[in-house]
Amino acid sequence: MIQAIDRLRLIHSEKRKTVYILCNIPLDLPVDELVTWKQLAGNRRLSDALAKCDERGWDALPLAPRELSRLFLNLWATKKAAKRWLEKEPLNAHRDIIRVWGLLHEYRPPGQTSWSKALVRHGADPGRRWRGCWGFRGRIRVRDRAE
């Protein structure tokens, strides 16, 4: 196991690399973060919603209850169900699998007075490419990296 990790060239690399060690054998390696399997695997609904985004060619996942229930009716039957899910399972960019998929941003479509969160795929332009994917008309305002 140690030899396989050494072959990744973690020390003398220009890019930061992440290694996930999934075993119960003690290794003589420093550990930056220890997480549970549930934290690593993430939430099933979130995984299914991200898979649907991939299928549809979307670069973002809205995290507003109204949009979750409208776009993913099979996962959240009502706005209230989506709201309860977001309250019960708050997304944590440092803990959850979302850090692999993208970054949190805030957006505000035309006619909406408050900001909503969205998970935007790494490398996607949050201000251009995903505006039309949810059926919004007009200009969507975007703020970088929601807290």
Model pLDDT for residues 114-130, shown as the tens digit of each residue = 888 888 888 777 666 55
Is 75 in contact with 68 (CB distance < 8 Å)?
Answer: yes
Whether 25 maps to a domain, the answer reads no
Question: DSSP E strands: which ranges in 46-140?
Answer: 60-62, 102-108, 116-121
| 123 falls within a domain | yes
Instruction: Please tell me which of 35-39, 47-51, 66-70, 135-139 the model is most confident about, judged by mean pLDDT.
Output: 66-70
Residue 61 has pLDDT above 60, yes or no: yes
**pLDDT tens digits, one per residue of 71-106:** 999 999 999 999 999 998 777 655 555 666 777 888
Residue at 118 is within a domain? yes
Q: Is residue 47 part of a domain?
A: yes
Residue 50: pLDDT above 70? yes
Asked whether residue 58 is domain-assigned, the answer is yes
Which residues 6+ apart lie within 8 Å of 133 measured at CB?
56, 57, 58, 59, 60
pLDDT at res. 129 = 55
State the DSSP code for 24. Answer: S
Q: Domain count of the chain?
A: 1
Residue 110 reports pLDDT greater than 80: no
In a domain, 14, yes or no: no
Mean of the per-residue pLDDT values of the chain: 80
Confidence band (pLDDT; 50, 70, 90) for 111? Answer: confident
Q: How far, in Å, CA of 71 to CA of 61, rounded?
A: 10
Structure-model confidence comparison of residues 95 and 1, the more confident one: 1
- The per-residue pLDDT for range 129-147, each reduced to its tens digit, is 555 567 666 667 777 665 4
For residue 118, how many C-alpha atoms fall within 13 Å in the half-sphere facing its CB? Answer: 30
pTM here is: 0.65
The residue range of the domain holding 48 is: 37-143
Q: Is residue 19 part of a domain?
A: no
Q: Is residue 83 part of a domain?
A: yes
